Every structure is written in structure tokens, then in C-alpha cells.
Structure 1
Amino acid sequence: MEMSRDEDARQATAPIRGRGAASRVAGRFERRELRGEDDGWGSVYADLEGVPKPATTVAEERARSIISRNRSPDIAFSQSVNPYRGCEHGCVYCFARPSHAYLDLSPGLDFETRLFAKTNAADLLRTELAKPGYVPAPIALGINTDGWQPIERERGISRACLEVLLEARHPVSIVTKGSAITRDLDLLAALARQGLASVFVSVTSLDNALSSKLEPRAAAPHTRLKMIAALREAGVPVGVLVAPVIPMVTDADLERILEAARDAGAQTAGYVMLRLPYELKDIWREWLQLHVPARAAHVMSLVRQMRGGKDYDSRFGTRQRGEGPFADLVAMRFAKTRKRLGFEGLPALRTDMFLPPRIPTPQGELF
């Protein structure tokens, strides 16, 4: 019997506690595949209880550039900075998972266990903001993977970037579900007093048990509501992002999330429908079979109804919202509740206060 003790190489037969993905789904660029084979003498999965659970590793990375530009017409920002690759929150539905395939790593378990920290992010940001001809526009900080995931408490890279932005009086917008952001209320409040910061807290469900399966290492739902309250109390413009809305899994919570967030102090709200690009569709199907097998077919049927009969439709204008009867119903429910609760938009971030940062020189501040 050929035995494999590699947790990443096994087929998913059960969830892994504390992880969103349950296996190492192969990336689309991989040339090799790891798989356990049973030759009939015994189960290759017989002793899974003795297999160590995958630990989180963090590799330090020296990035060559840090500001990414975006021209997507359905995205509200044109620039972003991502201090980390991969995300320990482990949200099984994360649209960024397929990006790990470019590193020859799995968008499944590798995405949430093999992380990369861009240790020079703040220095690069300072350099790029100081370039002649730079035109300020709001920077979305930590938009691809959460800038306030658990490793931020030790690394502090997102905070260092905030310090550069505050020094340069540069506008920043944030979407997060990490409680570590409350540690940076001092910087966010200072930016907000100048009209330079806004934060959206992402809330997927108010059900603690469901949240622990969908997003196992993110802040619990009640903690995210406390984050909204803390941000508002500090004077930081704050909204709630219901993302993603998942048919037959989280969609019933839509109105309750909006109501709870409004009570906590959220000033505006948005939502995004479940998106399944590339390998994410396989990771998501695996999660459905492990956690809600009786509903799996129904969930995917509704997903395909919203995506023109496919698992995913990447067209601008529809990828965030979907189309068809179910998508229209969610849109009407959201609009009706948003109006009833009196949500308004957040003030536009200012760009007229920008002051290019100074680049340190061997001569210091003499000249």
C-alpha cells in the first residue's frame, strides 16, 4: 500500500478545523499533482486523526513595486496596495484564491497557510508617492487579501503603510473583516479628520457557527459589529459590505446584517454576490459537499442561473451583482432595506491635501 501522510495531497473526506479549504486544489498552471492511492491492502486515509493539521508559514518578500493600477469600470478605486499575498482568514469563497496559482501554489490550503509578507511595502509606497508627476487618487489598502489578517498583529506592515499615507496626506479606503484594525484607530482617526480615510467592514453572516465554517480565522460576526461601532466612535467614516451574498447559504441574513450594522453605527452599505472565478469553483463545490451536501445542487443551480448558465461570468457590470430572477430579488431586497434604514453614501475622500513624502538621504534633513 502506498501511504501518504501529506494533508495537502489527500482527497477531502472531512473539513479541517480552523481552515476554509479542505484540500490542496491544484492550480491551473501546475505541472504535477499529488494524490494518495490505495492499492487494496488498507485505506490510505485510515489514520487521518494522526495527520498534523496544516500550519501557517510566512515567507518574507521584497516587492519590486507596490501600487497596483486598476481600470475595471465596476470597481470604485483605481489604485491599490496589498501588503500580503494569501490570507489566513481562510474565507472559502475568497475571489483572490486563484492568485496563488501564479506562485505555483494551491488556491486551496496553500492560499491560507503559505503566506507572503511584503516587508518593504511602506518604503516602496513612500518612494512611489514621491515620484515626480504622481497624481493622488484614493488607494485601496489590503483589497486583494485582507491587510488586517492575523499576521498583521506581528508584522504591522499595513500600519506602516498608513503612517506613510498620513504623512503624505494621501486618501485611503479599506475593506476588512480583521479585528486588528482597531489597533490602528489612532492613525485612521487622524486621516479621517482631514477627510482622507473610510473603512468598510465585511459581514457575511450573523450566524457564528456558519461564519466559523465559511471564514474560520476572521473576526466573529459580533466582533465585526463592534469594529463598526469603534470606527464610528473614533470619527472614521464607516460602512458595511455584505459580501458575498450566497444563495441558500447566507442570503436570508441580508436584512438582519444591514439592521445590525446600522445599529452599530454604519453610515452606508453595499453588497456583492458570490463570485467563482477559476479554481474557486472547485474549492466552493468541495465546501458545499462537506458542509451542506443536501443543498449543494440547489446552491449551484442558483449560482448558474445568475451567471448565464455558467459557474461564473466575468463581464463588467454583472460580475458583482449577477443577473436573472434571484439576483434581481436580492437587489430589490437590498435597495428596500437600505432606504428603510436611511443609509447614505460616505463623503468623497479628498485629494487636494497631498504632500509628496520626503525620501531619506545620507545627508538627513540638512538640505
Structure 2
Amino acid sequence: MTVRPGSTIGILGGGQLGRMLAIAAANLGYRTHIYAPGLSGPASEVAARWTRGDYDDAAAIAAWVSQVDVVTYEFENVDVAPLKGLDGVRPSLRALEVAQDRVAEKAFAETVGGRPAPYCPVDSLTDLTQALEMVGMPAILKTRRFGYDGKGQARVRDAAQAGDAWAAIGEQPAVLEKMVAFEAEFSIILARGLDGRIVRYDAATNRHKDGILDLSTVPPSGIVAEQAEEAGALAERIAGALGYVGVLACEFFASKDGPVFNEMAPRVHNSGHWTIEGAVTSQFENHIRAVCGLPLGSTALVGTGAEMRNLIGREMEEWPTILADPTAHLHLYGKTGVKPGRKMGHVTRIF
């Protein structure tokens, strides 16, 4: 069903992704109504309405849903249970459930031909000791749920570090992954419409710093360019198998043996922020188009290439210098608390 302009899109989550979705929605004539636990947030400044409520409050969520025409989300670390039985949630709750659990996510990718790094579920220190023997070292221990930007992770270089690693992640259900040798990290971002049509953006080569995305560049070159089609085909199979509607991001390691699946995000993605100025249709507009049942827009580059750099922590204080650069497009998210590791904005340059 097509959601007509003038309708209201409910967005679960009030961060910077919600902010950019709300701006894209407004440009297409839609209103947005945010649901999030805080009193305010980056999205509240640009949305028509804001409802404060906990993510596990089923009654409050149901009341909010009754006031919107379609529901989407900018944040996947939410309880799925209160959303069960609600109509018009796009992407599907199945996609949310798979992406929330790192073991389920890797297993699902394998069912459609994906190749993650060797991994093993871990539920205790004894499990971890056994998993290290099976998977090998060095390895990385990650919580199964609610980890992002390097949080909830611990590296294990030898068996003597097992106890410290288990304690570092809070002794939570986890997955142990073998650290694979790779030449680059990259992401595939696509949009899938209600009719099943898929459009795909250029693969972005990504550089991380302290576990947080620092720089994304397009178009790809070298080994990433060689492996982008295989990775893109896998991302499309994942989207198809989930009956996906909206923007989907899949992250990969480019290795000598081909693309290694890392993880998926059932939403718009940090490595796609370059698309606001760098593509004919941004990932945010294409997500709104998809969840509203509209035709998808072109993902073609508007120039020969683009780069996007995150402004993390006090890097946002560079804004006067950035604004003085005629090639730069500055986006600040309106966050008031500057903390180390916190994404405060980004800057894009088009070539």
C-alpha cells in the first residue's frame, strides 16, 4: 500500500539517523513522529512530533502507532516484543530479530551463501575456552546483542586472556569470531521497495578508528572493487530472503579468499551518509520512498567520487575551518554533550 504525501511516518529512535530521515521525509511532503525514551534528541529538532516512552512499553508504543500511518526505525537495539502484531512496520520485524543477535545474523547469512569468519556461540567461560580451541586465535569476543561502535567487544590473543575477555564483556551471551586477515573493510548499501525492486549504491571503502567509523570513500578501487559485486549479490539475497523493505547495509572484510560477511544493519547506515550530496537520491530519501511504497530513486554518483568523514567528540570544533572549505558539506547533529567516541556530525566532499 502506498503511503500518500501528507501522511505521518513514525520513526522509532531519536538519534541522528532519525534526524536525517525526518529531513528526507519532509522534502517529500511527509510529517514524522518520533518515539524515543529521552526528552529530546537530534531528531526532535526537525520532526513534527515527539513521544517520550520506553522501548519496552507495549501500551505506549501501541498508542504512538495509532497516530502514524507507517512505522520504521533508525535504531535496532530495541525490544521486538512490544512491536509484535503491529501492522505497517518496515523493515520487517524478522529483519530486526536477525540483526539483533550476532549468532543468528551469521547463521542467516550462511543460509543464503554468505561466508562469515569462523565463529562459535559462547555462554560461559568454559564455552569460551572450548571455542578458542575450535575457532583459533587471535579472536574477538562480542556480545550477542546490543553492541555497536566497538562496544561489547574484547580481543583474545592467547588462552590466558580468556577470563579477562569474558569479564570485559560483562559475562554475557556472546560469539567468538576468528580474526581474519583482510586488506580493507567495505559496506554494501541497498534499498528494496515494496515491489521487490532493488537499487544499490557504490560500495564504500571504510576506515575505522578505535572501533568507530572514521572515513568512507566511493567509488571502490583495488580489492574492494573486485569483490563488490559478489558482496552486493549476497546483500540482495539477504534482503530478498527477509522480504525486506527499506535500506539495508551489510559490512564486509575484503580478504584474499573473497568477501567475508561481518554484519548487517536493518536501517540507514553511517557509511552511506555521503549519499546526501554524493548520490542522485540519498539513502535517507530512498528509505522513505521504500517504506511509503514509492518508486525508488537513482543511486548514481553525482560526481566522480565522494568521501565522508565522521566528526567524533571534539572534532566537531573544526566546524569553522570546514565551513571555510568550499568543497565541504557540513552536517552537525545538534548534540549538546561532547564525549569521546560520540558522533557529533560528519563532513562530505564530492569530487
User: TM exceeds 0.5?
Assistant: no
Q: Could you state the TM-score of these two structures normalised by the residue count of structure 2?
A: 0.29
Larger Rg: 1
* Greater RCO (Cα-Cα under 8 Å, separation 6 or more): 1
